[in-house]
A = this chain, B = another copy of it.
Amino acid sequence: MKVIEYRPTPDEFAWTFGGAAPVRRVRPGEALSVWTEDCFAGKVRSERDLVSQVCEFPFLNPQTGPFHVEGAEPGDTLALHFVSIEPATDIGAATTVPFFGALTSDAHTATLQEALPELVWLYELDNARRTVTYRAKSAELAIELPMDPMHGTVGVAPAALEARSSLVPDSHGGNLDTPEMRAGVTAYFGVNVAGALFSLGDGHARQGEGEACGTGVEVAMNTVLIVDLVKGVPTPWPRLESDAYLMSIGAASPLENAYRVAQVDMTGWLSELCGIDRMDAYQLVAQAALAPVAQVCNPIYTVTSKIPKSLLPAGPAYRGKHAELSEQAAVLRSA
């Protein structure tokens, strides 16, 4: 399998989905080995580097890409299989940012209150032990959390001639901020424009569900992914497939709408896969789906609907694309 190496220079980052020229062309079936910068554009390096002082809006969430996928057309589905997502440094940073996050008023949940204190927490990453170490500031307390690397932003150019900030999620993907976007997962996105024009970034060494403070443990990533297409099959909202789960991601505000979007999408998907009508699929979703919150800090919120594949008698989703790409990934990893 051809593996294309790509490491962007600072002037090559994209800051939007849509509206940016492709940096490379890839063919379905090829792999990419890329480096992604952290969400702060690398500018938070110590506890004194406050986002409001060192970062410049909107230059956050720098995207590696976009990549033009040969042959991708509206109506197709782009499949991205994450072979590996590995922190590129041994320090990750999490911050509060004034009026940003789930447990503060923000630009839309607008109040007259003062902002929370602006702080930086640095986490030590141990790739070998797979840990991410939290250290409290107000007491002697260190906690080793499991490392669980993921990308906060992955997506394609949106429909309707739009260009969307890489800080925002929507049906094109973008800043979905779900911890499910980890290695071993295949992500599916509906293609809206010729070439799909996907990009990725915003690596987290881990994050809690909801990304409550507005950031995960932010870190640059070395990521290998296989790029593929499912021709002629549309995908209305971002979907994920792991060895264990089928997942739909809803992006909307208020948060119940993100839940509804994800569950309605899952209902339609199960209806197709299981050959049952929508009411039967609704019932199955109602009793079998997990629904973890993904993020509640960006202008549009996200929720994931998850169904264990072990429950389903169904044939494979997307013509078996996940199994196929997982096998190729195994070959790549063993190479």
Q: How many copies does the complex hold?
A: 4
A285 touching B208, Cβ below 8 Å: yes
Inter-chain CA distance A286–B94, complex, in Å, is 9
Which chain B residues border A286 with CB–CB below 8 Å?
94, 101, 207-208, 210-216
Inter-chain CA distance A123–B311, complex, in Å, is 15
A105 → B minimal CB distance (Å):
6
Which chain B residues border A264 with CB–CB below 8 Å?
103, 110-112
Tier of interface size on chain A: 35 or more
| Chain A contact residues: helix, strand, loop or mixed | loop
Inter-chain CA distance A256–B94, complex, in Å, is 22
Which chain B residues border A96 with CB–CB below 8 Å?
279, 282-283
B109 touching A58, Cβ below 8 Å: no
A104 touching B108, Cβ below 8 Å: no
Would you give 25 A-B contacts (Cβ < 8 Å), ordered by A? Answer: A102-B263, A103-B264, A107-B261, A110-B261, A111-B111, A111-B116, A112-B264, A113-B114, A119-B279, A119-B283, A134-B287, A136-B283, A137-B277, A145-B288, A206-B287, A208-B289, A208-B290, A210-B289, A213-B283, A214-B286, A253-B256, A259-B293, A292-B292, A292-B293, A293-B293
Residues on A lying within 8 angstroms of B by beta carbon are 15-16, 18-19, 57-58, 94, 96, 101-105, 107-117, 119, 121, 123, 132, 134, 136-139, 141, 143-145, 159-165, 167, 206-217, 250, 252-257, 259-261, 263-264, 267, 274-280, 282-293, 296, 301, 303, 311-313
